Structure 1
Amino acid sequence: MIMNKSQLKTVIISGANGYFGKIAQKYFRNQGWDVIKACRDSDGDIQFDLDTPDIIAKTALEVPASLFIHAAAAHEVTCKQAPYQSIYQNVAGTRAALEFCLKNQIPKFVYISTFHVFGNPAGAIDEITPPVPANDYGLTNRLSEEYVELYNRQGKLKGMVIRPSNFFGTPAELDRCRRWTLTPLAFCRDAVEQKKIILRTPGYQQRNFVSILDLCRVIEAAVDRIDHFPLLHVAGPDTLSIRELAQCVQRMMKKHLHQDIELIIPAGNLLTHQFSYTSRYLADIYTPKDRIENSIAQLCIGLNKRRYQYAS
């Protein structure tokens, strides 16, 4: 298939109205891409409902596109609350997205997975570490990865699986964000609204954090070399324990808003088993640089401003 100039810069983003999707839309538009929104909401360019994968697979595009980023999925909370529906949405939904690409001759497919495919990891984790999912969220992502791998092996399209660590970023629309269960977002909202952050555990478990904007930069940089990177881990420059993350929010609230935040952290022993999230290939593509404390400051300021707007 011969692609025209416009087609080379056209990306479809599923889950376009989600936390990742809204930030990704803005990023790719700013980089000169035409963005097609695929979502279940009425303002989408393509109707994309994971509950009806058969319809997704048969949908015909009116304009050509060269890249599909699949970010629509049932997240970890939904997988726990509605496991059977989530299995259907995540796994059948991914297969339907792949079939949609075949029907519409979209040559490149990027699947946004998660480090949760490793379940309860220890030691250094990279692309050759065997996944061992520990729950429905991890397993449905792993099964979706395997569908991308299958279509790759069959030569149907060029697919890439991206496994980010914990991603962060200020939501594009605070009032429409539905991912307040994510730890960085939850801590910032609790700090602004409750003036305290309560941890359920001693918080010694470490997590790596990568910004959504850095994740988008990685995708854009890697997509022209997709043949060489069918699987890519994406980690950021900050690795913090959960208690260190809470302390970071506390510092940013004091520095930028001059507010004292109480931290309530139960006592407990240090963890003996930690893990590091690494990549064998990321340095050859792009090195994420966004620091989480800057995002925390921006989010706390935005939440505080919104709080006072509602109060007035």
Structure 2
Amino acid sequence: MNLLVTGGCGFIGSNFIRYMLETYNDLSIVNYDKLTYAGNPENLKDIEDCGRYTFVQGDICDFDLVSSVISKYNIDTIVHFAAESHVDRSIDGGYEFVKTNVLGTFTMLDAALKNGIKRFIHISTDEVYGSTPDKPFEEIDILNPSSPYSSSKAGSDLLALSFFTTHKLPVIVTRCTNNYGPYQYPEKLIPFFVSNLMEGKKVPVYGTGKNIRDWLYVIDHCRAIDFVLHNGIPGEIYNIGGGEEKTNLEITYKILELLGKDESMIEYVEDRKGHDFRYSLDFGKLRSMGWEPEYSFDDAIEETVNWYVENESWWRPLKERKA
């Protein structure tokens, strides 16, 4: 397999590339990344000399470059992670989200079609469904996104599926719950809270802190994508969840506990605009095919927090650059 991974210098993409290279010996990967603020080459520094790994800096909106890379490296499979993904940034300014997530995805699909790609995995999010007051969302449920970010991802999902319906491009869409683990950009909740506490700063909790998310360890997400890559059916959607629903306060208290801090380090702040109360996915479809998450939340969150504690040299330059 000759695999093109877009956004491979990001959090999930870099973990996926490392996972695939460690799991398979007969696979080559081209990492295609624009290196925006969240794309960090340091995420893959340990494998940059691997003979089966190639990095190409490029924009997913650049059709000619995408096409030339597919042709040059005989790409037969694409896993498309590249996206603008931070909700708060999309609320402050949504143009880049629409450009990257919608136009960029269209460009990738068009290039895949014209170059005869055999499988295209489009990575999406549970946020496209919106908030649920009761039952978890299934793949057949309607989309009801709340932010410019989730709306742009919903648009990209529909584009991807339309390329299957219209052109029979072998597209599969996956939608995952909140990921956590090593190499996550420090504006996201867990690394942001850990780094703040290490700096002696309080952690900002939106509203009452009772909003609920399902948490999925990033390696389980990588395993699920790999499973779908080999077992999924083109034209289908697969929800990927961790089965670990927690309130934001529960996450906060767990981080405080692991770092030996108390709740005096919590600062409640004004709630986010359009803040969805609960994201929840029914991933029974994937379970029925034989995939299950392997990592418990308690074990994986401790491992994750320890990683950020031990890798201050990784996150501190990113946090200082953002400031």
| Correspondence 1:118 to 2:123 | no
**Aligned-residue offset at 1:114:** 0.8
The residue type equivalent to 1:118 in the other structure is Y
User: Percentage identity across aligned positions?
Assistant: 19
| Correspondence 1:165 to 2:177 | yes
Contact 2:32 2:56 (C-alpha < 8 Å) held by counterparts: yes
Contact 2:191 2:308 (C-alpha < 8 Å) held by counterparts: no
| Correspondence 1:22 to 2:14 | yes
Deviations 1:156-213 (A, max 9, x none): 3211111101011111xxxxx5x22221222222222226433232211111011221
Q: 1:167 to 1:118 in 2, by over 3 A?
A: same
Structure with the greater alpha carbon radius of gyration: 1
TM-score (norm 1): 0.82
Partners of 1:64 and 1:23 lie apart in 2 by 23
| Correspondence 1:304 to 2:309 | yes
| Correspondence 1:104 to 2:104 | no
Deviates further, 208-217 or 218-227: 218-227
Partners of 1:24 and 1:303 lie apart in 2 by 19
- Aligned counterpart, 1:69: 79
Q: 1:240 aligns with which of 230, 246, 261?
A: 246
Partners of 1:249 and 1:289 lie apart in 2 by 21
Contact 1:205 1:274 (C-alpha < 8 Å) held by counterparts: yes
Contact 1:126 1:279 (C-alpha < 8 Å) held by counterparts: yes
| Alignment of structure 1 residues 1-312 onto 2, 5 Å | 9-32=1-24, 33-41=27-35, 45-53=55-63, 55-57=65-67, 59-76=69-86, 77-124=88-135, 125-171=137-183, 179-194=185-200, 196-227=202-233, 230-254=236-260, 262-264=264-266, 266=268, 274=278, 276-285=280-289, 286-307=291-312
- Aligned counterpart, 1:6: none
Partners of 1:280 and 1:298 lie apart in 2 by 27
Give the 3-state SS of the residue equivalent to 1:29 in structure 2.
helix
- RMSD value over aligned CA atoms? 2.8
Q: 1:261 to 1:253 in 2, by over 3 A?
A: farther
Q: 1:153 to 1:229 in 2, by over 3 A?
A: closer
TM-score (norm 2): 0.79
Partners of 1:239 and 1:293 lie apart in 2 by 12
Give the 3-state SS of the residue equivalent to 1:250 in structure 2.
helix
- Please list every run of 5 or more consecutive structure 1 residues that lacks an aligned counterpart in the other structure: 1-8, 172-176, 268-272
The residue type equivalent to 2:297 in the other structure is I
Q: 1:158 to 1:189 in 2, by over 3 A?
A: same
**Aligned-residue offset at 1:153:** 0.9
Deviates further, 122-131 or 136-145: 122-131
Moved over 6 A (4+): none
The residue type equivalent to 1:296 in the other structure is I
Partners of 2:213 and 2:15 lie apart in 1 by 22
**Aligned-residue offset at 1:120:** 3.1
Give the 3-state SS of the residue equivalent to 1:154 in structure 2.
helix
- Please list every run of 5 or more consecutive structure 2 residues that lacks an aligned counterpart in the other structure: 36-40, 42-47, 49-53, 270-276, 317-323
Equivalent pairs, count: 288
- Aligned counterpart, 1:4: none
Partners of 1:66 and 1:126 lie apart in 2 by 30
Contact 1:253 1:261 (C-alpha < 8 Å) held by counterparts: no
